[in-house]
Amino acid sequence: MAVLGSVFVLDDGEVFAYGANDYNHGESLTGDHEPRTEDISLRRDGSKWVEQKPPSGECAVRVPMGQDEEGLFLSGNRYLTDDDRCVKIKHPRLPRSTGVRKAARQLLWLEEIRRSPDTGEWFGAGHVATRHSGDQVFVPVVVRLKRGS
């Protein structure tokens, strides 16, 4: 089943659509003949949609969430620069008062990224998930995104 789940329009009017071609996994008794899920990345080329070659590296399966003057904010907390570098969006560690252990791995998951019309700054909303032994902790966050931090 092929599904498109998001659309993104660049500032210059170029249009992209993203989704996946998935299959009913588990029907094969051996699992040997099941096709893999395929990511779909399309670009509007005048009057038709064409397959879009994804960026390389960790940005390959990420979907744009916002565009600034120097590149794209992508899902999975990545930023794709205009010169095709894929950089991770960094974040400060959560305070221990949230119940997060000092040695816990902390992962930022942003659901929305928007530019403030008043200030031009970018803000993201989502949560930080921790990975450590014991209970997993999810802490809701709003972050201000800035380059180089």
Q: For residues 142 and 125, is the Cβ–Cβ distance under 8 A?
A: yes
More confident residue, 149 or 126: 126
Percentage of the chain modeled with pLDDT above 90: 22
83-100 confidence digits (pLDDT tens): 889 988 888 888 888 777
Q: For residues 40 and 55, is the Cβ–Cβ distance under 8 A?
A: no
* Cα dist from 51 to 64, 65, 78, 93, 133, whole Å: 16, 19, 22, 39, 42
> H-helix or E-strand containing 28?
none
38-71 confidence digits (pLDDT tens): 888 899 988 899 998 878 788 888 889 999 888 9
d(CA 64, CA 74) in angstroms, rounded, equals: 4
* Cα dist from 48 to 15, 18, 25, 92, 127, whole Å: 11, 15, 31, 43, 37
